[in-house]
Amino acid sequence: MSKKKTFLAIIPARGGSKRLPHKNSLDLAGKPLIAWSIEAALQTPQITTTLVSSDDEKILDIATQYGAKKLKRPFELASDTASTNDAIIHAIKNSEETDYIILLQATSPLRDTQDIQNAIKLLEEKDADAIISVCQMEHSPLWANTLEDDCSMENFLSPIVLKSRSQDLQPYYRLNGAIYICKLEKFLEEKSFFLKKNIFAFVMSKEHSIDIDERIDFYLAQTLLEHGI
């Protein structure tokens, strides 16, 4: 019988946020924003350990309250210039050995345990080294372009796009920031979830893909949660 694979879920959450201050601990539909990701991880049977990495004592207290392990992040790994990957590597060095790491951003509260389980299932089906979640774009990027200083729209869209209906254009997908899974050895080797090969996309619904960056995102997530959508 093959050894059961282990998964370490890492939820990085800084105390500061310029666009939406203290967003990770804001009350969202009755619980702190970060609690939604903690509960989704803890309810996922495949996840062996759920770890919250933060520089903020309030967030670390919330992590403990909701049943996750906590890791105090050094100041230099919590600045605006520090990368998420640096925080991930710090968490790996301060955790038990694991086969895979799962990055769950606290700003994706509508991503639930079923999404995580389905992403892990895809990982197993593809025998993949990495899985990254995406969702279909609301509008095709073919309808977009840069603008000159004078805002001229000459040649803004190609003739082919101008003659096309939106429903006839090929769908595009974007990263939604909700789920990143990677084999530990591959992550440490490439220092990234975006591996050069054997990496696949896990497609999520638009509703579950809401990423809270600004206040309008927060209000949208709150509305969806309060109405059970």
> Domain containing 130 — which CATH number?
3.90.550.10
Beta carbons of 107 and 177 less than 8 angstroms apart: yes
Structure confidence at residue 2 (pLDDT): 54
Structure confidence at residue 115 (pLDDT): 98
Is residue 41 in a domain?
A: yes
Q: How many angstroms separate the CA atoms of 92 and 40, rounded?
A: 20
Rounded to the nearest integer, the mean pLDDT of the chain is 93
The structural domain count of the chain equals: 2
Which residue ranges of the chain lie beneath pLDDT 50?
Answer: 1
- What predicted TM-score, i.e. pTM, was given to this entire model? 0.93
Is residue 124 in a domain?
A: yes
Is 87 in the same domain as 190?
yes
At 85-142, the pLDDT tens digits run 999 999 999 999 999 999 999 999 999 999 999 999 999 999 999 999 999 998 899 9
Structure confidence at residue 146 (pLDDT): 95
Tokens (6 digits) for 91:
């968490």
Is 207 in the same domain as 156?
no
Q: How many angstroms separate the CA atoms of 73 and 86, rounded?
A: 10
Is 126 in the same domain as 156?
no
Structure confidence at residue 1 (pLDDT): 37
Structure confidence at residue 222 (pLDDT): 95
Is 32 in the same domain as 105?
yes
Beta carbons of 141 and 172 less than 8 angstroms apart: yes
Is 143 in the same domain as 123?
no
Is 185 in the same domain as 220?
yes
Q: How many angstroms separate the CA atoms of 128 and 139, rounded?
A: 29
Tokens (6 digits) for 163:
């003659």
The amino acid at residue 139 is H
